[in-house]
């Protein structure tokens, strides 16, 4: 039985990945570069600092990863007001789980300032008992750190928690932490390899609760 549900944020609850990519594209354009499509599978789900290291190295940008992360973050945060949208079914699923008394956690690669901003924008600032951001762990996804910490803060064993993820790196992180995992890919991630490790691949958030019930994970 499931004792807690732990959500990823970007691409699962918030339709932000197009904004994330646009910010990187605008940033690398400063150096007359384009963001290679083949890099995208290595970026989805990673912390900003980790993504910056990959991009600076692969494109040989004449800046440090730390500077690239900071300057790209400025572009991204400036693009958010008025453009933050929930993924379809996000509010309904959270409300249904809370109505059942299921503790909810968030385990995201996003930094705390960003996470607080978008949760407030969407009216989800009080939805989660536990928030684990990329600032809270030594290693970002696909390392298991964020899910290990979220389960511990919820007071649940990892094996009794289910993660909701949209990208293979997140699925890998959840499974490495010992959680069960439901993958809900979106338009940016559904073509990526690596979802086979999930317990199921679902078409949308509206399919999560019916799947949990029909497979006996909820009574």
Catalytic residues: 8, 10
Q: Which of 5, 111, 122 is nearest to 49 (CA)?
A: 111
Strand ordering across the sheet containing 161-165? 130-132, 104-107, 4-7, 161-165, 180-183, 200-201
CA distances from 217 to 34, 92, 148 (A): 45, 19, 20
Identify the H or E element spanning 191. none
């Amino acid at each position: 039985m499931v004792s807690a549900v732990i959500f990823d944020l970007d691409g699962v609850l918030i339709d932000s990945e197009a904004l994330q990519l646009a910010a990187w594209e605008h940033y690398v354009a400063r150096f007359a570069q384009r963001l290679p499509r083949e890099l995208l599978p290595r970026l989805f789900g990673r912390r900003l600092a980790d993504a910056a290291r990959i991009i600076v190295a692969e494109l040989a940008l004449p800046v440090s990863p730390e500077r690239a992360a900071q300057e790209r973050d400025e572009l991204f945060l400036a693009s958010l007001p008025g453009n933050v949208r929930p993924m379809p079914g996000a509010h309904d699923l959270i409300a249904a789980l809370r109505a059942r008394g299921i503790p909810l956690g968030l385990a995201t690669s996003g930094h705390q300032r960003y996470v607080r901003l978008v949760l407030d924008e969407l009216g989800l600032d009080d939805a989660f008992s536990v928030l684990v951001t990329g600032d809270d762990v030594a290693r970002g996804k696909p390392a298991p750190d964020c899910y290990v910490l979220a389960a511990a803060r919820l007071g649940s064993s990892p094996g009794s928690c289910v993660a909701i993820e949209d990208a293979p790196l997140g699925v890998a992180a959840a499974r490495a932490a010992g959680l069960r995992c439901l993958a809900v890919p979106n338009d940016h991630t559904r073509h990526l390899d690596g979802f086979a490790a999930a317990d199921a691949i679902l078409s949308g958030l509206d399919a999560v609760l019916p799947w949990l019930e029909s497979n006996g994970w909820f009574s």
